[in-house]
Structure 1
Amino acid sequence: MSQLLHHSPRLIRLTLARDLVRSVRSGHPWVYRDALRDVPQAQPGSVAELFASDGRRRIATGMYDPGSPVAFRVCQPEGGRVDDEWASRQLERAVHLRQSVTTPQTTGYRLSNGEGDGLPGLVIDLYGTTGVLKLDGSGPEGFWNAAGIGEWLLEKLSLKGVVCRTRGEEGAEVVAGDPDVEPEFLEHGLKFTSNVQKGQKTGFFLDQRENRRIIRDLSAGKTVLNLFSYTGGFSIAAGVGGARKVTSVDSAGPAVAICDRHWRMNGLEEGNHTSIATDAFEFLEQTAGQGRRWDIVIVDPPSFAPSAKSVERAKGAYQKLMTAAAKVVEPGGLLAASSCSSHISESMFLEILVSAMSQSRRRARVAAITGQPVDHPWPLVCPELRYLKFVLLELN
Structure 2
Amino acid sequence: MERLETAMADVGPDACRIFHGRGGVDEAWKHVVIDWYRPALLVTLYADRENSADWLTQLQTMAEQHEKIECLLVQRRYQAGAPVERIFGEAPEQATESGLSYQLSLEKNQNHGFFPDMKPGRDWLRERAAGKRVLNLFAYTCALSVAAVQGGAQQVVNLDQSSRSLAVGRENHRLNFPPERCRSVRYLAHDLFKSWGRLKRLAPFDLVVLDPPSHQPGSFVAVKDYPRLLRRLPEVLAEKAEVLACLNAPELDDTFLTELFAEHLPQAKFSGILPQPTGYEEAEAGRRLKRLVYRLEG
TM-score range, shorter chain: 0.7 to 0.9
Relative to 1, partners in 2 of residues 1:159 and 1:230: Cα closer, same or farther, differing over 3 Å?
A: same
**Corresponding residue number in structure 1 for 2:256:** 348
**Corresponding residue number in structure 2 for 1:372:** 276
**Corresponding residue number in structure 2 for 1:174:** 86
Residues 1:295 and 2:199 aligned together: no
Q: 1:236-284 CA distances to partner (integer Å, 9 max, x unpaired)?
A: 0000000011111111122111110110111141211111212223233
In the alignment, the residues of structure 1 paired with residue 21 and residue 117 of structure 2 have an alpha-carbon distance, to the nearest angstrom, of: 14
Runs of 4+ deviating beyond 6 Å: none
In the alignment, the residues of structure 2 paired with residue 356 and residue 285 of structure 1 have an alpha-carbon distance, to the nearest angstrom, of: 20
Q: Is the 1:226–1:247 Cα contact (8 Å) retained in structure 2?
A: yes
More displaced 10-residue stretch of structure 1: 314-323 or 233-242: 314-323
Aligned to 1:237, which of 136, 147, 171?
147
Q: 1:340-368 CA distances to partner (integer Å, 9 max, x unpaired)?
A: 1011101222101222204xxxx112223
Residues 1:258 and 2:168 aligned together: yes
In the alignment, the residues of structure 1 paired with residue 140 and residue 237 of structure 2 have an alpha-carbon distance, to the nearest angstrom, of: 21
**Corresponding residue number in structure 2 for 1:89:** 2
Q: 1:320-359 CA distances to partner (integer Å, 9 max, x unpaired)?
A: 123233431111111111011011101222101222204x
Aligned to 2:15, which of 81, 98, 108?
108
Compare relative contact order (CA 8 Å, sep 6+) and give the higher one, 1 or 2.
2
Q: Which amino acid aligns with 1:95?
A: M
**Corresponding residue number in structure 2 for 1:187:** 97
**Corresponding residue number in structure 2 for 1:198:** 108
Report the TM-score when normalising by structure 2.
0.86
**Corresponding residue number in structure 2 for 1:271:** 183
**Corresponding residue number in structure 2 for 1:24:** none
In the alignment, the residues of structure 1 paired with residue 275 and residue 17 of structure 2 have an alpha-carbon distance, to the nearest angstrom, of: 15
Structure 2 unmatched runs, 5+:
none
Relative to 1, partners in 2 of residues 1:127 and 1:326: Cα closer, same or farther, differing over 3 Å?
A: farther
In the alignment, the residues of structure 1 paired with residue 84 and residue 17 of structure 2 have an alpha-carbon distance, to the nearest angstrom, of: 18
**Corresponding residue number in structure 1 for 2:225:** 317
In the alignment, the residues of structure 1 paired with residue 202 and residue 39 of structure 2 have an alpha-carbon distance, to the nearest angstrom, of: 46
In the alignment, the residues of structure 1 paired with residue 151 and residue 114 of structure 2 have an alpha-carbon distance, to the nearest angstrom, of: 20
- Report deviation, 1:170: 3.7
Q: 1:3-55 CA distances to partner (integer Å, 9 max, x unpaired)?
A: xxxxxxxxxxxxxxxxxxxxxxxxxxxxxxxxxxxxxxxxxxxxxxxxxxxxx
1:46-85 equivalence runs, <5 A: none
- Report deviation, 1:166: 2.4
Q: Which amino acid aligns with 1:242?
A: G
* Number of matched pairs: 285
Relative to 1, partners in 2 of residues 1:283 and 1:220: Cα closer, same or farther, differing over 3 Å?
A: same
Higher alpha-carbon Rg = 1
Q: Which amino acid aligns with 2:281?
A: P
Relative to 1, partners in 2 of residues 1:115 and 1:249: Cα closer, same or farther, differing over 3 Å?
A: closer
Q: Which amino acid aligns with 1:261?
A: E
Q: 1:276-320 CA distances to partner (integer Å, 9 max, x unpaired)?
A: 2122232335423x47321111110112399xxxxxx73222211
In the alignment, the residues of structure 2 paired with residue 120 and residue 300 of structure 1 have an alpha-carbon distance, to the nearest angstrom, of: 25
Report the TM-score when normalising by structure 1.
0.66
Q: Is the 2:268–2:295 Cα contact (8 Å) retained in structure 1?
A: yes
- Report deviation, 1:383: 4.0
- Report deviation, 1:152: 2.2
Q: Is the 2:15–2:116 Cα contact (8 Å) retained in structure 1?
A: yes
Structure 1 unmatched runs, 5+:
1-87, 307-312
**Corresponding residue number in structure 2 for 1:224:** 134
Q: Is the 2:131–2:153 Cα contact (8 Å) retained in structure 1?
A: yes
Relative to 1, partners in 2 of residues 1:333 and 1:383: Cα closer, same or farther, differing over 3 Å?
A: closer
Relative to 1, partners in 2 of residues 1:285 and 1:369: Cα closer, same or farther, differing over 3 Å?
A: farther
**Corresponding residue number in structure 2 for 1:70:** none
- Report deviation, 1:212: 0.7
Q: % of aligned pairs identical? A: 24
SS in structure 2 of the partner of residue 317 of structure 1: helix
**Corresponding residue number in structure 1 for 2:193:** 281
CA RMSD, aligned part only? 2.4
In the alignment, the residues of structure 2 paired with residue 107 and residue 287 of structure 1 have an alpha-carbon distance, to the nearest angstrom, of: 34
Relative to 1, partners in 2 of residues 1:225 and 1:179: Cα closer, same or farther, differing over 3 Å?
A: same
In the alignment, the residues of structure 1 paired with residue 253 and residue 14 of structure 2 have an alpha-carbon distance, to the nearest angstrom, of: 30
Q: Which amino acid aligns with 2:204?
A: R
